Structures are given as structure tokens and as C-alpha cells.
Amino acid sequence: MALGSLLPELLPGGSGRTPLIERVARWAREKPDAPAYTFVDYSADPSGAHRTLSWAETDRRARAMAVTLRQVSGPGERAALLLPQTLEYMMTMLGALYSHVIAVPLFSPDLPGHADRLIGAYADAEPAVIVTTRNALPHVEKFLADHDVPQPKEILFAEEVDLSLADRWQDEAIAFDDIAYLQYTSGSTRRPAGVEITHGNVTANAAQLWAGWAPEKPNPELVSWLPLFHDMGLIATMALPLVRGDHAIYTDPVSFIMNPMRWLQLIAERPGKNVYTAGPNFAYEYVASMAAPEKIADLDLSGLTTCLNGAEPIRTSTLSMFADALAPAGLRPGAQAPGYGLAEATVFVTAAAEDVPPKIISVDREALTQGDLRLREDGADGTSELVSCGRPCGQIVAIVDPEARVEQPDGRVGEIWVHGPNTAPGYWRNSERSQDTFGGELAEPGDLPSGPWMKTGDYGVVHEGELYVTGRIKDLIIVDGRNHYPQDIEVTAQEAHPAIRPDHVAAFALTGEETERLVVVAERNRRVPLGRLDVDEVESAVRAAVNVEHEMSVHDFVLIEPGGVSRTSSGKIARAATRQRYLDGALATTAARLASRK
């Protein structure tokens, strides 16, 4: 079953085929004093220091950065962004888009938890220039000295760009096939790879996302804390305002993690506006868990038009938890918008943003693992809940049998394939993997394009015209000839005992002599005191629950300390990385922690 269609304005020659970066100059002419980007700095002021650039200032700073980049590098060379998330980061991205220098949006090396990703992405991109800040320079120098990575020709300081250089910039023709930046994947299943995002890709996806979020309301504004080095954060915060010259207000991820209520406060501060925001599933659960009545008493969230939940898996419990916790603050039932996307499609593929509560269906778990969608009564034994991720806009999504390369009918599970102007041409310097991912061809296309299709690596199914994502193909666990989705096992495990931290469980398989063997790794819940924790009791509860719910045995269960389950930059469980750390014996177990206390 295929969903969606290509919008004429996004096709070659259409009215929407004006490079997105060229709109900076347009808004600088048409609304020079209107706010473009506001960064809220909580490190400078705990209440949040707001710094705003108008469209005229944004255009001037971007052009000055373009001149600066071209003084030390040429078209097609890479510029690595190794600096904190500030206004300077955004201006560097826009300047790179102007300059024909390929941006590599990364982060300052002192950002905790992402060292391996930074090393892999930086080495793969081989940047000619690094853009950082004076404060971050010691971290950059240490990174370059400590690791076997290419040395740049030049290090630039974003806050020291001479703004008078803007007048020297001469506009150059921008082709839609020109690479705008390299978006390094978050590495949930394998090492990061640089997705080549063209100017055409980012232009199309920004327009698709606006249309998918149904923003036909006055005074739209975007509020975000998402990292700009991640696809969702970059497109939502940088690209969306460029579509119609709107305003984006953002802070940095660390400020959000330290106090998640800041996200809601920034939204509530926009009276008379229609606010859009986005985040991964864990962020909504984190906020809901912290939103005590006294903390939201003075918040008005009635202006929150759409909050996109764009990471996998989207938990039905999170949707209800967020809705219940924030309804007293005015959150509308239809504000939550589950969606689906990935870097290979720039980011946005589908969203359920129709101002109605998220649609949830209960299905037969066994039938689903065999590839069939069969509805069951809510709460019945042997059921799983699936969340609708809506419909695509300006692109086509097809459910395909990956072996036969044949489109599947409504209700039949297959691989999610995407075709549209937002799908990237390939991976940086990796033709073999590019062909495997972006070179999909339908054996029997019928009314659909024969190709090229981007193969997502995700299983999904269409029901009543909407997309339901069922899981990663590479994560599927096959025991005794039966398929099991790891997220189902993870939910069962986390609900088996209160000592297990919700949404911090990884289920994966090991190769056995006759069949795969199930391993479950779960983080300890800090709310259960160590002195009252019985590891054997937790293990017995998990083994029993998995055996009853999934009719399978657990080969090994490991309870580990908080923070031990690997996650991607978007907050997804990185099962492959956790599996490797398990095999390496690198997980800090709670049993070892308890033994050390004796």
C-alpha cells in the first residue's frame, strides 16, 4: 500500500524550487526588523537570557560567514561545526549554505556521551576547516591531539567573524543537486555515515514539514531545544523559519536536560502565537514525569498547536501520560502529533497532525510478527498497541516486500520505502552502501515510480490510509522460527518490576547453535533504593513476564547502573551498540555495584 503524492511545486521547475537559503535575503528585504532566530542562554542567566537576531541581521551575519569560509576553503570542501549550540552555530550553518562549502553539523568535543560518534563523523568527512569558539578551542585542540583524525587547514572562530565582510559577498548560483551539508546518522544500527543532503532536499523537506504540521494559522513560531547536529533539530529550527520568514526560539539540549520545564515555559511565553515544537518520545515522558501541579500552575499551553513526537518507538503510555499531566495547563487533546522520519529522507516523512488525539490501534502480536495486521480488543491477551504516524506530504511512502520488491496491500507488513524530492542521493564516499539504501527499484511498479526508492530498514504497515511503524528490520529477534519485535519485549521487561527504569531497556539476540538467544539489558531505577534491591527477584520477574507474554525464554538478563544502555543522539535505544558493550563485558552491572558496597 502506497501513501501520498508528489506536490507539483516541489518538482523540478515548480514554484517551490527556489533554494531555501535564498529566502534569507528575501525576508531581509521584506521584513528586515522581524525576529528570525532567538537563542535562550540559561548558562548566562538561570531564568534565560534571550538574544534575538532580525532577518536583516541574520542575512548580514550569514553572508559575512560565507566570505570568511571561502577565504580559507573552496566549494565542495567541508567545514566541521565544533561549537556549542548558540546563535553563532546557526549563522555558521546559513553561511555555509551560501558559500558552497559543505557544512558538517557536529558539536563541541566536550559534549558528554558522543565521543565515538564525533571521531567517526569527523574522520569520515575530512574537513578542511573547523568552526568553533574561543571558549571551545581547548576542547577542539585536545580532540585533534588525542585522536588520529585529519588536521584542518584553518580553525575559525564564529563569534569573531568581521560583519563588514558581508558587503563583499557576491551571490552565486545554487543548484538543487549541490550538496548543502552532511548529516551524520545517529548510529542506532551501525557506525555513523554522512548522508548527502542537497539544497533540493532541504528545500523540499522544509516545505513538506510545514504542510505536514498543518500550519495554516497566523503568527506561527517554533520552540525547540533539540540539538542542531541532529536531523530533527536542524530542520525544525533552521529550515522551518526560512519557508515563510517565521520566528524560531531555541535553547540547547543540556539546558533542557537540567530542567525540562524550561521547554514548557518557552512555549507558554508566546501569547497570541501558534507554537510548534518537536521532540523524541523520551522527552515527552521526561517532561510529564516532572510536571507536578505546582510547576505548571502558571503555565498556559493553549497556544501549543502541534508537538511532533518523532522518535521510535512512540509509546502509547507516553502519549497518555503527557496528555493527562499537561491538560490542566491547557494542552489541547489534538496537539500531540506522532510522526516518522529519518536522516536519509532529510528528516520528515509522515506526521499525524490533524488536530485530533493520536490514533492508537490494538493488534494481534503473533499475527503481526507473521506480517499480518489483525485488530484485537484493547487490552486483550497477546496484543500490542501501535501508534499512527499519519500520512506523508509531498512524497510517496510504499510498503514493500524487500525480497520480492513488490508493493504490499493494506494490512500487510513490509519494509517502508520512500520516494520524493527530500530523499538524499547517497552517503558520503560510500557508493556501495548508497546503492543498497537509495537504489530501490520496484519489480512491479504499477502506478508508482519504478525508482529510485529509499529503503528505510524499518518495518511498517498501512491501515486505513495511515502509516504504522512496527520496528527495525535489523533489530528483529527470531527465536525457534518465530519473529519478535524487541520493543514489545522491552515493554514487558520494564513493566515486570518497579526496579527497572522505564524506556531504558534493550532487547537483542545472540547467535546460538540452533536458534537465536534472547538477552535483555535493563537499567536500574534510581527510585528503588539500593539497600532494598534484590537483583535475583528482578531477574525472576523479567524471565517470568517474558515467558508468559511472548512464550520464549530469556537466555541472559542483566540489570545495569543508570545510563548504561546506549542511546542515539535522538534518544533512541541503540540496541546494536548495547549488544556490543554486553559482548565486550563493558556494562556496569548493579550486582557488581552491590558487591562493592559489602
pLDDT in tens, 259-294: 999 999 999 998 878 999 999 998 999 999 999 999
477-597 classified as CATH 3.30.460.40: no
For residue range 362-372, list pLDDT tens digits in order.
Answer: 999 999 989 99
Q: What is the DSSP letter of 238?
A: I
Q: Are 207 and 421 in contact (CB under 8 A)?
A: no
Give the residue-averaged pLDDT of 461-488: 90
The confidence band for 213, taking pLDDT boundaries of 50, 70 and 90, is confident
**Rounded Cα gap, residues 227 and 338, in angstroms:** 19
Greatest pairwise CA separation for the chain in angstroms: 72
Give the residue-averaged pLDDT of 479-493: 88
Domain with CATH 3.40.50.12780 in the chain: 19-258
Of 333, 329, 471, 335, nearest in space to 413 by CA: 471
Query: pLDDT at position 188, please?
Result: 45
Query: pLDDT at position 115, please?
Result: 83
Query: pLDDT at position 189, please?
Result: 44
Beta pairing partners, 453: 440
Mean of all residue pLDDT scores within the chain:
92
DSSP alpha helices (H): ranges in 370-477?
431-438
The confidence band for 502, taking pLDDT boundaries of 50, 70 and 90, is confident
Percent of the chain scoring above 70 in pLDDT: 96
For residue range 426-467, list pLDDT tens digits in order.
Answer: 999 999 999 999 999 999 999 999 999 999 999 999 999 999
Q: Which CATH number is 360-472's, of 2.120.10.30, 3.40.50.1820, 2.30.38.10, 2.40.50.100?
A: 2.30.38.10
**Rounded Cα gap, residues 533 and 216, in angstroms:** 53
The confidence band for 570, taking pLDDT boundaries of 50, 70 and 90, is low
Domain with CATH 3.30.300.30 in the chain: 477-597
Query: pLDDT at position 245, please?
Result: 95
Give the residue-averaged pLDDT of 101-119: 91
Give the residue-averaged pLDDT of 349-367: 93
Give the residue-averaged pLDDT of 203-226: 86
The confidence band for 113, taking pLDDT boundaries of 50, 70 and 90, is confident
For residue range 512-534, list pLDDT tens digits in order.
Answer: 877 889 999 999 999 888 888 99
CATH code of the domain made up of 19-258 = 3.40.50.12780
Neighbours of 382 (CB within 10 A): 13
Domain with CATH 2.30.38.10 in the chain: 360-472
